[in-house]
Amino acid sequence: MADVVLRNLAKRFGDTQALVDLDLSIRDGEFVVLLGPTGAGKTTTLRLIAGLEKPDSGRIEIGGRNVAAEAPAERDVAFVFQQYSLYPHMTVYENLAFPLKAPVRKLSAEEIDRRVREVARMVRIDHKLENRSTRLSGGEMQRVAIGRALVRRPAIYLMDEPLSSLDAKLRAELRLELKRIQKELGSTLLYVTHDQVEAMTMADRIGIVAEGRLMQVGTPREIYGNPANLHVAARLGQPHINLLPADLLPGGQPPAGTKTVGARTEHLDIIVGKDANAEIDWIEHLGDQNHLHIRAGNHKLVTLADPYLAIAPGDRISLTLRDPLYFDAGGQRLS
Ligand SMILES: Nc1ncnc2c1ncn2[C@@H]1O[C@H](COP(=O)(O)OP(=O)(O)O)[C@@H](O)[C@H]1O
Ligand SMILES: [Mg+2]
């Protein structure tokens, strides 16, 4: 495993500036997640590191070496693609063993067998080693695809939304598994996704990307609690952060220059039927919690509420801010 450093990376495709001066250092053994919407430049970043694309400018270092002149095979990276591609005519065992059989690796048959079985156990596919890869469910295929990367011990694992094609339950399971395996192996991992839950739960550090730019890098707690700007604040949190004019609700202490107040659930206090300044529009019942849709003046807010809170559409409430986030006219955070 190794440190990976990206310096001023830029890449353009025709009229599209896919990446703009991207700087990122990934420490040895670190799990970094790039979080951003479709088209943000996530796949391009991984492809540049893997050597599948050439940057227009900038530098990529893996373990201290500049890899600009190295072909993909020389770079010592393992890539898990968004669309898993297994060898259909091979068994699960053969798929997992394949990356280890390259002549340059010079591994003994015993060593290959040991690694295949070890990784198969890790990704919980050891009971299906003799199955044809076409005879697997989507979740099992994806486990094999991840396993095929894990049998190698590269400088860095690059994973491109590897869980996005799976159903919610399996995604939640594999997210935990992947984090556990990464810890166990001490591997360096760059994972890209548009799913904020994956980023929050797996990352040591999250990098927020938008339109080819890295907007902020930090631990999940830093990114969530201390966002640098409106864009970053809006990427995290469910329901979505409420963006309100500075003077809409009482309770805050907006610093000079405040244009927008950002209020998540934890920044809003609700009292029913006292000095009302807002009204419940409707309530979405999710079972363990409710989404309250609230109208305050001409503004709509959504917040989570305890299912035991006795409240109904049409009820008048008092809504107060508690230590919300403040942003200036340019969207930059004020403190
Ligand atoms: N081979 C390509 N040719 C033309 N445009 C591309 C190519 N690859 C990516 N792009 C464009 O670059 C931008 C970033 O793409 P990508 O890195 O795939 O984003 P993401 O993975 O975050 O969805 C997008 O606007 C995309 O359309
Ligand atoms: Mg992509």
Quote the longest CA-to-CA distance of the chain: 77
Q: Give yes or no for a cis peptide into 88 (omega within 30° of 0).
A: no
d(CA 157, CA 322): 41
Q: How confident is the model at residue 102 (pLDDT cuts 50, 70, 90)?
A: confident
Any atom of ligand 1 within 6 Å of the Cβ of 44? yes
Domain with CATH 3.40.50.300 in the chain: 2-233
Distance 158 CA to ligand 2 centre (A): 12
1 band by pLDDT with thresholds 50, 70 and 90: low
Centre of ligand 2 to C-alpha 126, Å, is 30
The predicted model gives 235-256 an average pLDDT of 94
The whole-number pLDDT of residue 259 equals 97
The answer to whether the CB of 57 is under 6 A from ligand 1 is: no
Our mutation pick for probing the ligand 1 site, out of 13, 45, 49, 213, counting the most ligand atoms within 8 A of Cβ, is: 13
Q: Which atom of ligand 1 is nearest to the CA of 209?
A: 22
Mention the CATH class of domain 240-251+259-325. mainly beta
Asked if residues 313 and 279 have their Cβ atoms less than 8 Å apart, the reply is: no
30 pLDDT band, cuts 50/70/90, is very high
259-307 pLDDT, tens digit each: 999 999 999 999 987 789 999 999 999 888 899 999 999 999 999 998 8
pLDDT at residue 14 greater than cutoff 90: yes
Smallest CA separation from ligand 1 atom 12, residue? 18
Mean pLDDT of 305-317: 90
Q: Is the pLDDT of residue 2 over 90?
A: no
Residue nearest to atom 27 of ligand 1 (CA): 39
Q: Whose CA is nearest to atom 5 of ligand 1?
A: 13
Query: Tokens standing for 111?
Result: 């060593």
For the ranges 155-169, 184-198, 211-225, 228-242, the lowest mean pLDDT is seen at 155-169
Report the run of H or E that residue 33 belongs to, with start and end. Answer: strand 31-35
Phi, psi of 325 (to 5 degrees): -100, 145
For residue 45, give the ligand 1 atom closest to its CA.
17
Please count the other Cβ atoms lying within 10 Å of the Cβ belonging to residue 229.
17
**Nearest alpha-carbon partner for 320 in 232, 265, 274, 252:** 252
Nearest to 279 by CA among 291, 267, 294: 294
End-to-end CA distance of the chain: 39
Q: What is the pLDDT of residue 288?
A: 83
Sheet with strand 4-13: strands edge to edge: 16-26, 4-13, 57-62, 65-66
| CA of residue 19 to ligand 1 center, whole Å | 9
Distance CA 77, CA 333 (A): 37
Contact 48, 11 (CB under 8 A): yes
Q: How far apart are CA 157 and CA 144, in angstroms?
A: 15
The pLDDT value recorded for residue 273 is: 78
Cα-only R_g, the chain: 24
Per CATH, domain 2-233 is 3.30.565.10: no
In the predicted model, is pLDDT for residue 131 greater than 90? yes
Residue 180's CB is within 10 A of a number of other CB atoms, namely: 11
- Band (pLDDT 50/70/90 cuts) for residue 70 is very high
The order of strands in the sheet holding 242-245 is: 242-245, 260-263, 325-327, 333-334
Q: Among 98, 94, 63, 97, which residue's Cα sits nearest to residue 77?
A: 63
Give the Å distance between the CA of 41 and the centre of ligand 1.
6
Atom of ligand 1 lying closest to residue 37 CA: 22
* Residue 256 clears pLDDT 70, i.e. is over it: yes
Closest CA to 157 of 77, 230, 91, 46: 77
Which segment of 11-25, 40-54, 140-154 scores lowest on mean pLDDT?
140-154
Whether the Cβ atoms of residue 260 and residue 244 lie closer than 8 Å to each other: yes
Query: Alpha-carbon distance 327 to 335, whole Å?
Result: 8
Give the integer Cα–Cα distance in Å for 243 and 289: 22
Question: Does the predicted model carry a pTM greater than 0.85?
Answer: yes
Does residue 47's CB lie within 6 angstroms of at least one atom of ligand 1?
no
Integer Cα distance of 292 and 265 in angstroms: 10
Give the integer Cα–Cα distance in Å for 118 and 185: 11
SS3 284: strand
- The C-alpha atoms of residue 237 and residue 265 are separated, in whole angstroms, by 9
Choose which residue among 12, 16, 191 to substitute to test ligand 1 binding: the one with the highest number of ligand atoms within 8 A of its C-beta: 16
Q: How far is ligand 2, taken at its centre, from the CA of residue 240, in Å?
A: 23
**pLDDT above 70: percentage of residues in the chain:** 100
The segment(s) of the chain belonging to CATH 2.40.50.140 are 240-251+259-325
Whole-angstrom distance, CA of residue 323 vs CA of residue 264: 10
Determine if ligand 1 sits within 6 Å of the CB of residue 38. Answer: yes
pLDDT at 11 over 90: yes
